[in-house]
């Protein structure tokens, strides 16, 4: 079953909160993972791994560098689940 973009954002915020301790409401579409949320590359890979499982999608390793903002990740996951 496909998740709405709203659901994906909420789900990602939970993963980021669990991994980094950032409050879920800090995880907004326009936020940069590295510059705003201070997520390092290993944490990013953890978040991607957990997101793949949660949303039942595949996020290729070479795509991760293109997911600069939370919005990028939400859009990618939304498209990937339709594929």
Which residues of the chain form contacts with another protein (CB under 8 A)? 17-21, 42, 45-46, 49-50, 52-53, 58
How many angstroms separate the CA atoms of 35 and 63, rounded?
18
Q: Show Cβ contacts of residue 2 under 8 Å, excluding neighbours closer than 6 positions.
A: 78, 81, 82
Distance CA 3, CA 11 (A): 10
Length of the chain: 83
Both structure tokens of 10: 């909420």
Shortest distance in whole angstroms from residue 41 CB to another protein:
9
Q: Taking the complex as a whole, how short is the minimal distance between the CB of residue 64 and another protein, in angstroms?
A: 11
Nearer to another protein, 32 or 46 (CB): 46
**Residue among 5 and 60 whose Cβ is closer to another protein:** 60
- Looking at the Cβ atoms of 18 and 35, the one nearer to another protein is 18
Q: Nearest approach, Cβ of 42 to another protein (angstroms)?
A: 5
């Amino acid at each position: 079953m496909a998740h709405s973009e709203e659901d994906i954002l909420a789900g990602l915020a939970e993963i980021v909160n669990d991994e980094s301790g950032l409050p879920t409401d800090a995880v907004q579409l326009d936020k940069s993972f590295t510059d705003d949320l201070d997520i390092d590359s290993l944490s990013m890979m953890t978040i991607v791994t957990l997101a793949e499982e949660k949303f039942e999608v595949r996020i290729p390793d070479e795509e991760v560098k293109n997911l600069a903002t939370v919005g990028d990740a939400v859009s990618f996951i939304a498209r990937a689940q339709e594929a």
